[in-house]
Amino acid sequence: MPKKIIIADDNPDFAESLRLILGKAGFAVRVAATADEALGMQRAEAADIFITDLVMPEVDGFELITRLRHEFPNTRIVAISGNGKLHAPRYLSAAKLIGVDAAFHKPFDVPSLVQTLIRM
pLDDT for 6-25, tens place per residue? 999 999 999 999 999 999 99
Q: Is 26 left (phi over 0), alpha (psi -120 to 50) or beta?
A: left
Percent of the chain residues topping a pLDDT of 70:
94
Contacts of 53 (CB under 8 A, 6+ apart): 8, 9, 10, 11, 61, 80, 81, 83
- What's the CA gap between 110 and 22, in Å, rounded? 9
- What's the CA gap between 70 and 86, in Å, rounded? 30
As a whole number, the mean pLDDT across the chain is 90
Contacts of 114 (CB under 8 A, 6+ apart): 21, 22, 25
- What's the CA gap between 5 and 22, in Å, rounded? 9
- Pairing status of strand 102-105 against strand 28-32: unpaired
Residue 55: band (very low, low, confident or very high) from pLDDT cuts 50, 70, 90 = confident
The structural domains of the chain, with segments of one domain joined by +, span 4-119
Fold of 4-119: Rossmann fold (3.40.50)
How many CB atoms are closer than 10 A to CB 120? Answer: 14
Percent of the chain residues topping a pLDDT of 90:
70
In DSSP terms, 31 is beta-bridged to 7
Please report the pLDDT score of residue 84 as a whole number. Answer: 56
DSSP 8: E
Please report the pLDDT score of residue 106 as a whole number. Answer: 82
pTM, full prediction: 0.90
